[in-house]
Amino acid sequence: MRYLNSIALFLCMFGLATSGVAENNRSEGSSGRYVTLKQNDGSALRIFVAGPEDSNAAVVVAHDYFGLSDATRESVEHLGALGYRAVAVDLYDGRSATNHEEAVKLMQSLDQKTTDKILQSALDYLKRPGRKVATLGFSMGAQQALIANLNDPNTVGATVMIYGAGYDKIETKRLERLKSCVLVITGGDDNGATEAAIKFVPNMREANRQLELFVYPGADHGYAQPLFNGGKNYNSEAIRMTWTVAEDFLSSHLHFHPVLSH
């Protein structure tokens, strides 16, 4: 696959407005719902689903270390409102956190093989003839979104990683499995995520794979998660710009025209 010699690096100072299966009850007015999937080993997997069942484009969303929180569900509903069939996986088997200490314990309890199986189940759930699928993740989920692509590159047509880390340590030889473009989004004040993104650039270049990078000045880690750092890092302008960039990227690489436009 040809590498884009000119990596897209955007430094934007402004935000743009954007806007068998068993089902559980959902709250009135919500466009999303919980669905329980039966995996190949017989175990149950809870996912949160939104958007048209017959959509030709779909997105698997991997949550941050807080779990399947309001912020994650809102992301799924946002994508669903655009016309994507969107699914958020529950990597914590029903558990969630409300503070940093709880979230770290949950994140440290993850088993990668189990996580891989969960993400693959979500991809398998979304597969259908003529449908293109992407993966998207926030923070901890960013690396998981990339790993899901690496595990099933024939299915995943694009990956979006939002203020993640750790993925820069993935071996170049493994990155060569990618058959689709990766978009990295991070805040300019998020030193850890920005450092990971910068290190990831030469890795993708060496693997000869496509990468786009977007940096929003002044935004720190977890800017899309109100639970992170007591909400002090929450940045609505950065969120709006993140969705603007992510939506354009997904539309381009999945060849899909969203319901809503800027």
Q: What is the pLDDT of residue 262?
A: 43
pLDDT score of 210 more than 50: yes
Q: What is the pLDDT of residue 31?
A: 83
- With the CA atoms of 94, 95, 97 and 100 taken in that order, what torsion angle do they form, in degrees rounded to the nearest 10? -130
Q: What is the pLDDT of residue 224?
A: 98
Q: Is 84 in contact with 250 (CB distance < 8 Å)?
A: yes
Q: What is the pLDDT of residue 38?
A: 86
Q: What is the pLDDT of residue 15?
A: 30
What residues does each domain of the chain span? Answer: 8-19+45-254
Q: What is the pLDDT of residue 23?
A: 39
Q: What is the pLDDT of residue 41?
A: 82
Dist CA 181 CA 210 (whole Å): 5
Q: What is the pTM (predicted TM-score) of this model?
A: 0.89
Question: Can you tell me the mean pLDDT for 195-215?
Answer: 98
CATH of domain 8-19+45-254: 3.40.50.1820
Question: Can you tell me the mean pLDDT for 74-100?
Answer: 97
Task: Quick: pLDDT tens for 93-121.
Answer: 999 999 999 999 999 999 999 999 999 99
Task: Quick: pLDDT tens for 11-59.
Answer: 433 333 233 333 333 333 348 999 999 888 888 999 999 999 999 999 9
Closest CA to 207 of 167, 246, 245: 167
pLDDT score of 6 more than 80: no
Question: Can you tell me the mean pLDDT for 226-234?
Answer: 97
Q: What is the pLDDT of residue 58?
A: 98
Question: Can you tell me the mean pLDDT for 146-170?
Answer: 98
Q: What is the pLDDT of residue 260?
A: 57
- The residues with which 211 forms a beta bridge, in sequence order, are 182
Question: Can you tell me the mean pLDDT for 178-186?
Answer: 98
Question: How far is residue 213 from each of residues 204, 235, 253, measured CA to CA in Å?
Answer: 12, 19, 15
